[in-house]
Structure 1
């Protein structure tokens, strides 16, 4: 079982090239199953979730090869629409393969997806939408057996909640379906737009990405293409949070400031300096930061739930009292216990967390409970006094490509053991 050993209190200075977005790479990998010919995905991060997605593609009969940051997928003749339970359980985003397999092979058998335990994240939105498109779904001994007796057809689908996963799954099922599919109250996240841009490059007819209404007109086939995955806005926010917690100045390159406006605004409220350029951000933090009186996680373009934990880590030593309301997922304050072990003053009640800033945090032995919670503990450890031992770091590896190397290069003292 690997762990990080971090010596806190060292300023971070230098440049970081931001990795490709995990939350784009995974649905785009699923989308490659829909394409004849070769899909070449550039700027693909080397994450355990990405490797799991590649194994799912291989199990379906595709050829999948990853070299450096480029993944090549050939899905000329996928022959297996059964996703083995161990592969399905490895990550939550594996549910994306349901829409893709139904679109390509008209059938799919799979277990329930795994991933972080963040409270109920029902897939009923996915299943209800697919039923409207002609999918027959039977649950048997913990597996979902899905078939399309009369072929996929377009439908008008209103989502009760703008779910990212449900929006993506509907798009994946609809691009090869007969007729037009209209999604209302669709999620608007930039990663959905990235998925759509890939599919458009492959020949899909989709309009309205980035808005709450998306229209998909089914086509007969898609062809592979070469596509560069967008930068990861949550990883960008994490490196900014690390600099805010430890102090210092970073220049993040290969990023997209426009997709980060809501996050950058909060850092500026805290007293950090953010200079935005077309594909880079210059960031500096010095001295005590200010508390954020009220912060509420919301679907895009609101403050992202995935950045909530890392921001909490920074607020632990800000002057004043901060209040965070988590509206997206239940059970997403599990990292608070680890921060308290490091000296933070945090009280949680349901979906509300109250953080009273303290003078400093101290090193401790803590464990990552999920991906973003682990990143929060790593962030806090960089600014804490003394040594922190962070265990269960496999959670962190699901979303961050060699974080110890990235941080060591800008002055952190962190070791993987």
Structure 2
């Protein structure tokens, strides 16, 4: 049963909100946990649907887990090879990280093609290229990928043809248990990759260079967890609340942030007229009455994150003139546009990846649909800004990526509730 959000808009937001653990770290760390020879513990785990779906996938392999009060405990010591449940696999794209971790664990993997948000083509050819370089053979059978390393995995020098977070993570997961040294060049630099490497290194892995474009991995035979791993704060959730607070707030403190992870985003918000007070691990967003037009271009980290171009869009509608976003990562990431326009915004996809946001200061409620996580976040912000009632259908997409969103917005004086369709 799908859920929908009901928002009574127009209320000013104030107070403070604390950011949860990073979704994009969590969905890589959970598959990585099966590489361990001991029980693994994570804390600051976000309470999102993706976590529960990953638990279902692990249960099919006799990997039992418990999740309560932000602590996820995983026991991979009785793991067995099994066909993974295709429904759960198709519910989130990050399930493809089981390719790398199963390949590293057993020397083989069979995974249904993953699902996730529909934001345009996201091929896995760079993942496959990396696996093959490590000694694996890959076959495709209908919607299933079968990967097998009959002679075991061995280190290799791998150059990614394009910067890919997913391929970088998957190759690390496979190479960490491979014999010899792997050099991964043109690697992605995202903070979530550093988080993964930190977790694996604390278990005995030998990974150097995470966060740079060249990562060196010396394979090891055993990985043992001795400490709870605390997941880094979610920079995309943080950016979403910063935009929400700027657009509709009378003073909001956003806590549990690593500001360095948001440098490009913070710079653009300041350029747009938001006088952010950036502190050590929090950011105060004052009431902002005048917004300036800006131009945004999404690029790989440390640039402006593609996941934040949609959440910042409603705020840009308050500017004095047209703002332009150039979406370089996923040019087809435009499914929020017709929905925002239903609420009175004037947003247009001009050409492939080019989006214009024109001034529209009077939004009204309406019935819209969340096509994917970040499009849904944009609709939540617009709904809070709009006069009247906004109903967001397919809200499950939003719940896949935003931890306790109802409680957090309610605590900021927003009027939002969730109901079953």
Interval of TM-score (by shorter of Structure 1 and Structure 2): over 0.9
Deviation of the 1:284 alpha carbon? 1.6
Q: Give the Cα separation in 2 of the matches to 1:216 and 1:81.
A: 28
Aligned to 2:287, which of 273, 285, 294?
Answer: 285
Q: Which residue of 2 aligns with 1:125?
A: 126
Q: Which residue of 2 aligns with 1:398?
A: 400
Q: Which residue of 2 aligns with 1:183?
A: 184
Asked if residue 27 in structure 1 is aligned to residue 28 in structure 2, the reply is yes
Q: Which residue of 1 aligns with 2:220?
A: 219
User: 1:130-155: CA deviations, max 9, x gaps?
Assistant: 01101111111221111110001111
Q: Which residue of 2 aligns with 1:248?
A: 250
Aligned to 1:384, which of 380, 383, 386?
Answer: 386
Deviation of the 1:364 alpha carbon? 1.1
Is the CA contact (8 Å cut-off) linking 2:247 and 2:288 kept in structure 1?
no
The answer for unaligned runs of 5 or more in structure 1 is: none
Q: Give the Cα separation in 1 of the matches to 2:218 and 2:42.
A: 24
Q: Give the Cα separation in 2 of the matches to 1:129 and 1:115.
A: 22
Q: Give the Cα separation in 1 of the matches to 2:337 and 2:318.
A: 14
Deviation of the 1:359 alpha carbon? 2.4
Aligned to 2:360, which of 358, 379, 390?
Answer: 358
Is the CA contact (8 Å cut-off) linking 2:189 and 2:210 kept in structure 1?
yes
Deviation of the 1:81 alpha carbon? 4.4
Is the CA contact (8 Å cut-off) linking 1:245 and 1:382 kept in structure 2?
no
Q: Give the Cα separation in 2 of the matches to 1:340 and 1:404.
A: 24
Q: Which residue of 1 aligns with 2:269?
A: 267
Q: Which residue of 1 aligns with 2:413?
A: 411
Deviation of the 1:110 alpha carbon? 1.2
User: Is the partner of 2:284 in helix, strand or coil?
Assistant: strand
Q: Give the Cα separation in 1 of the matches to 2:64 and 2:148.
A: 24
User: Is the partner of 2:42 in helix, strand or coil?
Assistant: strand
Q: Give the Cα separation in 2 of the matches to 1:276 and 1:316.
A: 24
Q: Which residue of 1 aligns with 2:304?
A: 303
User: Is the partner of 1:310 in helix, strand or coil?
Assistant: coil
Q: Give the Cα separation in 2 of the matches to 1:359 and 1:64.
A: 48
Q: Give the Cα separation in 1 of the matches to 2:9 and 2:267.
A: 26
User: Is the partner of 2:384 in helix, strand or coil?
Assistant: helix
Q: Give the Cα separation in 2 of the matches to 1:311 and 1:13.
A: 18
Q: Which residue of 2 aligns with 1:157?
A: 158
User: Is the partner of 1:36 in helix, strand or coil?
Assistant: coil
Is the CA contact (8 Å cut-off) linking 1:317 and 1:360 kept in structure 2?
no
Q: Give the Cα separation in 1 of the matches to 2:366 and 2:253.
A: 29
Q: Which residue of 2 aligns with 1:11?
A: 12
User: Is the partner of 1:249 in helix, strand or coil?
Assistant: strand
User: Is the partner of 2:17 in helix, strand or coil?
Assistant: strand
Q: Which residue of 1 aligns with 2:278?
A: 276
User: Is the partner of 2:311 in helix, strand or coil?
Assistant: helix
Is the CA contact (8 Å cut-off) linking 2:18 and 2:254 kept in structure 1?
yes
Deviation of the 1:371 alpha carbon? 0.4
- Which deviates further from its counterpart, 242-251 or 300-309? 242-251
Q: Which residue of 2 aligns with 1:46?
A: 47
Q: Give the Cα separation in 1 of the matches to 2:221 and 2:229.
A: 21
Q: Give the Cα separation in 2 of the matches to 1:330 and 1:56.
A: 31
Give the TM-score taking structure 2 as reference length.
0.97
Instruction: Please list, as runs of the form range in 1=range in 2, the aligned pairs for 1:86-235 lying within 5 A after superposition.
Output: 86-224=87-225, 225-235=227-237
- Which deviates further from its counterpart, 20-29 or 248-257? 248-257
- Which deviates further from its counterpart, 150-159 or 72-81? 72-81
Q: Which residue of 2 aligns with 1:372?
A: 374
Deviation of the 1:247 alpha carbon? 2.8
Q: Which residue of 2 aligns with 1:68?
A: 69
Q: Give the Cα separation in 1 of the matches to 2:241 and 2:20.
A: 11
Q: Give the Cα separation in 2 of the matches to 1:28 and 1:196.
A: 9
User: 1:253-311: CA deviations, max 9, x gaps?
Assistant: 2211111111111111111121122211111232131121x210000000000000011
Q: Give the Cα separation in 2 of the matches to 1:330 and 1:59.
A: 36
Q: Give the Cα separation in 1 of the matches to 2:418 and 2:366.
A: 16
Q: Give the Cα separation in 2 of the matches to 1:248 and 1:216.
A: 48
User: Is the partner of 2:383 in helix, strand or coil?
Assistant: helix
Is the CA contact (8 Å cut-off) linking 1:291 and 1:357 kept in structure 2?
no
The answer for unaligned runs of 5 or more in structure 2 is: none
Stretches of 4+ moved more than 2 A in 1?
A: none
Q: Which residue of 1 aligns with 2:83?
A: 82
Give the TM-score taking structure 1 as reference length.
0.98
RMSD of equivalent CA atoms: 1.1
Is the CA contact (8 Å cut-off) linking 1:65 and 1:73 kept in structure 2?
yes
Q: Give the Cα separation in 1 of the matches to 2:169 and 2:51.
A: 17
